[in-house]
Structure 1
Amino acid sequence: MKELLAALVAGLLFGVGLAVSGMLIPDKVLNFLDIAGHWDPSLALVMGGALAVTVPGYYLVAQRPRPLLVSSFSLPTSTAIDGKLLAGASLFGLGWGLSGLCPAPALVNITTGFVDVLAFVAAMLVGMLLHKTLHRA
């Protein structure tokens, strides 16, 4: 139960952070990515702030023998930069650049009921199911 409560609090905090930072506004994100046009550098400050919190936090957590609420850390074992990683990163970046949305802001934006957000989430879910189906085969 503690794990679920911690996940809920972390998710709510993350969602509020996305809203406060403007990451839920696709046009703001697209303007950040448009360095040759109407560039909006404000999201660089958001990313810098995230790194300023994450880097020392990650270091402190990594010093612990185990997490607070579970028996062991769940970290990726692969460190290979392969074609699958590059293809996935490219698809993520392409989708982000075309829509101004990535998965977390899109999920938070479902509450707006905007058709373009709902279409993005539907396409994201279809892509996830397709990947799962192809990965099993």
Structure 2
Amino acid sequence: MYAIITFLTGLLFGLGLAVSEMTNPAVVIGFLDIFGEWNPSLIFVMGGAVSIGMIGYVIRNRRSKPWLADKWYVPTRRDIDKNLVLGAGLFGIGWGLSGYCPGPGLTALTNNPMEGVYFVGALITGSALFHFQNHRNNS
């Protein structure tokens, strides 16, 4: 059942990305270009995402445990450290330059394979570098 729910959730997420045109880097870059030809349509995508997230928190606060797990996995850290700021900055720079974040970047493997391969390759490389650095620092 867990695998089916995970698959359906991913399918719904992908459908949402496609319908909202988040898979089109030109739309994303148009949203980020506030001093040029600004495209405000992604405000509605973000508003929808925040609304669903808020509903999720309401459900979490009313239930002692999730339906398909033993406990809730919710971040507990509240501090802002250099790794958080650096990671957020790198994510934002990459998103602004390419128009892709991880979800739409994976869809680019099918609808724009050349860009998709570069993006996913950079995503994997960056994740591996983080893992290597984090593992080295914790040893």
TM-score by length of 2: 0.93
**Runs of 4 or more consecutive aligned structure 1 residues displaced over 4 Å after TM superposition:** none
Q: Which residue is 2:53 aligned to?
A: 54
Alignment check: 8 A CA contact 2:17 2:23 kept: yes
List gaps (5 residues or longer) in structure 2.
none
Q: CA deviation at 1:113?
A: 4.6
Q: CA deviation at 1:122?
A: 0.3
Give the AA of the match of 1:28. Answer: V
For 1:136 and 1:51, the matched residues in 2 are separated by 33
> How many equivalent residue pairs?
136
For 1:102 and 1:60, the matched residues in 2 are separated by 27
For 1:35 and 1:114, the matched residues in 2 are separated by 28
Q: CA deviation at 1:75?
A: 1.2
Q: CA deviation at 1:78?
A: 1.3
Q: Which moved more, 1:107-116 or 1:92-101?
A: 107-116
- CA RMSD in angstroms, aligned pairs only: 1.1
Identity of aligned residues (%): 43
Q: Which residue is 1:23 aligned to?
A: 22
Q: CA deviation at 1:126?
A: 0.6
SS of 2:127's equivalent in the other structure is: helix
Q: CA deviation at 1:62?
A: 2.4
For 2:44 and 2:38, the matched residues in 1 are separated by 13
Q: Which moved more, 1:121-130 or 1:54-63?
A: 54-63
Q: Which residue is 2:40 aligned to?
A: 41
Q: Which residue is 2:6 aligned to?
A: 7
For 1:99 and 1:113, the matched residues in 2 are separated by 13
For 1:115 and 1:30, the matched residues in 2 are separated by 18
Per-residue CA deviation, residues 30-70 of structure 1 (Å, 9 max, x unaligned), is 00000000100000011112222221232122220000001
For 1:54 and 1:124, the matched residues in 2 are separated by 25
SS of 1:127's equivalent in the other structure is: helix
Give the AA of the match of 2:92. Answer: G
